[in-house]
């Protein structure tokens, strides 16, 4: 009787003979199967692109452009009030948004809601350069603001709309905005 108790391992498993080997194989198979499942799920999750935005590309780019316009108006008001350091956050917003502009204009994304002209896709390199210019100028403005360089910030803010946004958006004589890449807002 004492011999039988010594041959039983943890959880009452008989450690004598092939029964223990079966339990070890079963445990190993469960562990390996779990690891394979985790790897497959991880790879699948890593390969699927994260969804950003509403799924309506035209609505998303309109939101981004309105955010840029509001950021520009806010930084102009801050500069006018002499709040030079506060300009940095708006310039950073515009710089970060500029990085996403070209991605928001995939081929075939012209709809009735869009004011984008076909030239965006016909002159993709120019459009990409204009977005990069916007990013670069916004970063320079941000850096000058952080450095508390009031004369530089005031000079950049004065011409920011024309130099940074004007490559795509040009004001007409009546104040409406249009340009080589966008139709009039009216």
Q: What is the pLDDT along the chain (186 residues), one digit of tens a residue?
A: 444 455 555 555 555 556 666 766 776 777 776 777 777 777 766 665 555 577 888 899 889 989 998 999 999 999 999 999 999 999 999 999 999 999 999 988 888 877 788 888 888 898 899 999 999 999 999 999 999 999 999 999 998 988 888 778 765 555 555 555 565 444
Number of domains forming the structure of the chain: 1
Work out the number of other CB atoms within 10 angstroms of the CB of residue 67. Answer: 13
Q: Does 125 map to a domain? A: yes
Q: Does 13 map to a domain? A: no
Largest CA distance in the chain: 105
Q: What share of the chain is helix, strand, coil (3-state, %, to 5)?
A: 65, 5, 30
8 Cβ partners below 8 Å, 6+ apart?
A: 14, 15
Q: Does 16 map to a domain? A: no
Q: Does 144 map to a domain? A: yes
Question: Tokens at residue 30, please?
Answer: 């469960």
Q: Give the CATH number, domain containing residue 92.
A: 1.20.120.10
Q: Does 134 map to a domain? A: yes
Q: Does 96 map to a domain? A: yes
Which structural domain, as residue segments, surrounds residue 131? 57-178
Predicted structure pTM score = 0.66
**Spatial CA neighbour of 116 closest among 107, 71, 136, 96:** 107
Work out the number of other CB atoms within 10 angstroms of the CB of residue 146. Answer: 16
Question: Tokens at residue 29, please?
Answer: 């198979």
Q: Does 114 map to a domain? A: yes
Task: Tell me 152's DSSP state.
Answer: H
């Amino acid at each position: 009787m004492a011999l039988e108790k010594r041959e039983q391992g943890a959880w009452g498993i008989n450690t004598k003979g092939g029964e223990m080997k079966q339990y070890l194989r079963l445990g190993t198979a469960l562990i390996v199967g779990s690891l394979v499942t985790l790897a497959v799920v991880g790879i699948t999750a890593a390969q699927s692109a994260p969804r950003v935005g509403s799924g309506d590309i035209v609505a998303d780019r309109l939101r981004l452009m309105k955010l840029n316009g509001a950021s520009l108006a806010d930084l102009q008001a801050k500069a006018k009030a002499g709040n030079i350091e506060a300009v940095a956050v708006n310039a950073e917003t515009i710089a970060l948004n500029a990085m996403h502009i070209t991605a928001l204009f995939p081929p075939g994304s012209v709809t009735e809601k869009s004011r984008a002209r076909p030239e965006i896709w016909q002159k993709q390199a120019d459009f990409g350069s204009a977005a990069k210019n916007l990013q670069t100028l916004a970063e320079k403005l941000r850096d000058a603001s952080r450095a508390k360089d009031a004369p530089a910030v005031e000079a950049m803010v004065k011409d920011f709309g024309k130099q940074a946004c004007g490559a795509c958006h040009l004001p007409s004589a009546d104040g409406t905005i249009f340009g080589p890449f966008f139709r009039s807002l009216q």
